[in-house]
Amino acid sequence: MHSRLKLNHGNFRIEIPENDPTPSHPPIPKDLIDRKAYLLWESRGRPISSPQQQKKDYDDALRELQSQLSKGLSLNELQSSYLTAGASTRFTTNDREEFRSHIPYSYRRRHNVEQWLQKHSEGHVRVQSSGLLDLIEKSMGGDIVVSRQSYHVGNYEIAVLLKVVWGDYHILVATNMKGSAVLHWGVSKLSPEEWLAPPPDMLPEKSKMVSGACQTYFTDTSTGKGFFQVVDVNLQKRTFVGIQFVIWTGGSWIKNNGKNFFVSLKPMKPSGKIDGDGEGIVRWLLDEISRREKEAERSLMHRFNIATELMELCKAEGELGLIGILVWFRFMACRHLTWNKNYNVKPCEISEAQDKFTNILQRIYLNQPNDLEIVRLVMTCVGRGGQGDVGQRIRDEILVLQRNNDCKTGMMEEWHQKLHNNSSPDDVIICEALLNYVRSGFRIDVYWQTLNANGLTKEKLASYDRRIMSEPHFRTDAKEGLIRDLSAYLRTLKAVHSGVDLESAIETCLGSSVKGRVDSVGGLSLKLQDCLNFVKAHVGDENIGPLMEKLLESRIELRSLLLTSHGRLKDLLFLDLALASAVRTSMERGFKDLNFAHPPEPMFFMSLVLESLCLSTVNNEDFIYCTKDWYRVCELYTNAGQWALQTKAVLDRLQLVISERSQNYQKKIQPSAEYLGNMLGVEKWAIDIFTEELVRAGSAAILSALIKHFDPIVRKFANVGCWQVISPVEVCGFLVSVNELITTQSKVYRRPTIIIASRVTGNEEIPDGVVAVLTPDMPDVLSHVAIRARNSKVCFATCFDQNILRDLKLKEGKAVSIRLKSTNLVISDISSFNVSQDSFVSFSIPRGISLKKKPFCGIYAVSVEEFTSEMVGAKSCNTKFLRGRVPSWIKIPMSVALPFGAFETVISEDVNKDIANKIAQFMKFVHHGDLSKLQAVRESVLQMNAPLSLTYELKSKMRSSRMRWPGDEGEERWHHAWQAIKKVWASKWNERAYVSCKKAKLDHGNLCMAVLVQEIICADYAFVIHTKNPLSGDTSEIYTEIVKGLGETLVGAYPGRAMSFITKKTNLMSPIVIGYPSKLTGLYSKQSVMFRSDSNGEDLEGYAGAGLYDSIVMDKEEEVVLDYSKDRLVVDKAFQVSLFSKIAEAGKIIEGLYGRPQDIEGVVKDGIIYVVQTRPQI
What are the residue numbers of the active site? Answer: 784
- Report the alpha-carbon angle 9-12-18, nearest 5: 150
- Report the alpha-carbon angle 612-615-621, nearest 5: 110
- Report the alpha-carbon angle 791-795-798, nearest 5: 115
CA 998, CA 994: separation in Å to the nearest integer?
Answer: 6
CA 89, CA 155: separation in Å to the nearest integer?
Answer: 50
- Report the alpha-carbon angle 782-784-789, nearest 5: 85
Contact indicator for 246, 184 with CB cutoff of 8 Å:
yes
For residue 13, give every residue at least 6 positions away whose Cβ sits within 8 Å of its Cβ, in sequence order, or none. none
161: enclosing H helix or E strand: strand 156-165
Contact indicator for 491, 400 with CB cutoff of 8 Å:
no
**Among candidate residues 782, 805, 853, the one with its CA nearest the CA of residue 1060:** 782
**Among candidate residues 986, 969, 1003, the one with its CA nearest the CA of residue 1100:** 1003
CA 833, CA 1091: separation in Å to the nearest integer?
Answer: 51
Cα 668 from chain centroid (whole Å): 11
Phi/psi at 803 (nearest 5 deg)? -65, -40
Taking residue 471's Cβ as centre, other Cβ atoms within 10 Å add up to 12
List, in sequence order, the alpha helices (H) in 341-425.
347-367, 372-379, 389-405, 410-422
68: enclosing H helix or E strand: helix 51-70
What is the chain's alpha carbon radius of gyration, rounded to the nearest angstrom? 36
Distances 339 to 289, 296, 350, 467 between C-alpha atoms, Å: 15, 8, 12, 14
First CA to last CA distance, the chain: 126
Cα 55 from chain centroid (whole Å): 48
**Among candidate residues 107, 101, 50, 46, the one with its CA nearest the CA of residue 541:** 46
**Among candidate residues 257, 568, 574, 304, the one with its CA nearest the CA of residue 423:** 304
- Residue 1082 half-sphere exposure toward CB, CA atoms < 13 A: 21
Distances 442 to 296, 430, 431, 448, 457 between C-alpha atoms, Å: 38, 15, 14, 12, 19
For 478-540, the DSSP string reads GHHHHHHHHHHHHHHHHHHH-TT-HHHHHHHHH--SSTTPPPPPTT--HHHHHHHHHHHHHTT
**Among candidate residues 339, 454, 431, 326, the one with its CA nearest the CA of residue 380:** 326
Task: For 176-284, list the strands marked E by DSSP.
Answer: 181-188, 207-210, 213-217, 219-223, 226-236, 242-249, 252-254, 261-264
Q: How many helices (H) and strands (E) does the chain have?
A: 39, 32
Distances 283 to 74, 191, 636, 675, 681 between C-alpha atoms, Å: 57, 11, 52, 8, 17
To the nearest 10°, the Cα dihedral for 595, 597, 598, 602? 60
Which phi-psi region, left, alpha or beta, contains residue 277 (left: φ > 0; alpha: ψ -120 to 50)? Answer: left
Phi/psi at 888 (nearest 5 deg)? -65, -25
Helix (H, G, I), strand (E, B), or coil: what is residue 686? helix
Contact indicator for 666, 569 with CB cutoff of 8 Å:
no
